Chain A
Amino acid sequence: MATSYAPRTGLGALSVSIPTPVWLIGTTLLALLAIYFIGIDQGAVSVFGSDMHVHEFVHDGRHFLGFPCH
């Protein structure tokens, strides 16, 4: 593994080698994208324009998870 680990009492800055921010940022972006498609796409905004397949497929989950729906 490319990351070196600094123990808890050590300097935080040392444990941040390059791969860590890439993994953290990549994971965050992917997670937000997934939440966007489950919760928001084809409601207020839409990536694919006038198509309702994503919205209708996750319809029950969208209502149930608390996202605004039609």
Chain B
Amino acid sequence: MEKRIIGRGVLLGALGGLLAFVFSRILAEPIIDRAIDYETGRDDAQMALDRAAGKPMMDMGTELFTRGQQANAGFSFALIVFGAAMGALFAVVYYLALRRSGKITPRSLALLVSGGMFLTLYVVPSLKYPANPPAIGHHETTKPRTALYLGMIVISVVALVAAVWLGRKLAARLDNWTAVIVAAASFTVVMAVVMLVLPSLGQLSANRREYGDFATETPQPLQDPSGVIVYPGFPADDLYHFRLYSFAAQAILWLVIGVGFAWLAPRLRADRASEAAPVAA
């Protein structure tokens, strides 16, 4: 039973990752290329400014994979493996949830679990720390940014589990509808407070020191010493669409996993019946 669920989770996750890749390869990859061009152009402009000011030059390093390899082999590998891993995690959560689901049918439960995992593993963390295209993100803050992002994921998972627990407690006393609303409101309030308390990326100490007081790490227009803009800020439309497509790709992944499992749920039950029969005999 658990092996069958895990196997299906991995396969559905990989399928979701593959579909997310096809979507992203068409819509997001042009933006990634533009962002890399922007980054290169900005670095060149910065170098010209530094040279004029007599500052030491940075070593750019060599390219390990061509853009073509990154955009096709690397990108598809990343999304398919990520999808398979998320599908496997879904299977574990779904298996554990199935045994305590009460009146919820296995089909509804598949949609609830995938929706909950989409919410806590991507949607809520990305509200505070959204996905960024290349050219956005300073080298010196990689560690605190990673810690904050993973911290947001862990906090949202814990908060949702607590909210589900609270909802079940309340459902025993109130009616189901009220219990669900109270639990959802509690989750929202807790996460809103967490987002208020955690720092914005631009306000990390290294960023304040180096770049001034900005909310994010999105590149501002580059100015020469006299204040003339020599290179524009990062294009707002590319940033918006990159984040929109990132959201859509994760939605595709979790939709495939959730709907796929909901589709298979009756058959999983049929499997249970055939498994249970010899035990009963």
Give the B-binding residues of A (Cβ under 8 A).
1, 3-5, 7-8, 12, 15, 19-20, 23-24, 27-28, 30-32, 34-35, 37-40, 43-45, 52-53, 56-70
Closest to B101 in A: A8
Report whether over half of chain B's contact residues are helix, strand or loop; otherwise say mixed.
Answer: helix
Q: Determine if B134 and A63 form an interchain contact, defined as CB atoms under 8 angstroms apart.
A: yes
Q: Determine if B78 and A27 form an interchain contact, defined as CB atoms under 8 angstroms apart.
A: no
Q: Could you jot down 10 A-B contacts, CB within 8 Å?
A: A3-B1, A27-B6, A38-B81, A44-B145, A56-B63, A60-B29, A64-B249, A65-B78, A68-B142, A69-B142
Which residues of A have CB within 8 Å of B32? Answer: 60, 63-64
Q: Determine if A23 and B100 form an interchain contact, defined as CB atoms under 8 angstroms apart.
A: no
A57 to chain B, nearest CB (A): 4
* B18 CB-CB contact with A under 8 Å: no
8 Å CB contact of B149 from A12, A45, A66: A66
A65 to B65, CA, bound (A): 19
A40 to B134, CA, bound (A): 16
A-B contact count, CB below 8 Å? 156
Q: Determine if B137 and A68 form an interchain contact, defined as CB atoms under 8 angstroms apart.
A: yes
A28 to B6, CA, bound (A): 10
B183 to chain A, nearest CB (A): 22
Indicate whether A1 sits within 8 Å of B275 (C-beta atoms), given known contacts A44-B143, A63-B132, A67-B149: yes
B217 to chain A, nearest CB (A): 10
* B276 CB-CB contact with A under 8 Å: yes
* B120 CB-CB contact with A under 8 Å: no
Closest to B246 in A: A64
Which residues of A have CB within 8 Å of B96? Answer: 24
Which residues of B have CB within 8 Å of A40? Answer: 146, 150
Which residues of A have CB within 8 Å of B79? Answer: 61, 64-65
A58 to chain B, nearest CB (A): 4
8 Å CB contact of B139 from A62, A64, A70: A70
Which residues of A have CB within 8 Å of B74? Answer: 56-61
B64 to chain A, nearest CB (A): 4
B67 to chain A, nearest CB (A): 9
Which residues of B have CB within 8 Å of A60? Answer: 29, 32, 70-71, 74-75, 78
Which residues of B have CB within 8 Å of A69? Answer: 132, 134, 137, 142
8 Å CB contact of B81 from A34, A52, A56: A34
* B88 CB-CB contact with A under 8 Å: yes
8 Å CB contact of B250 from A28, A31, A58, A65: A65
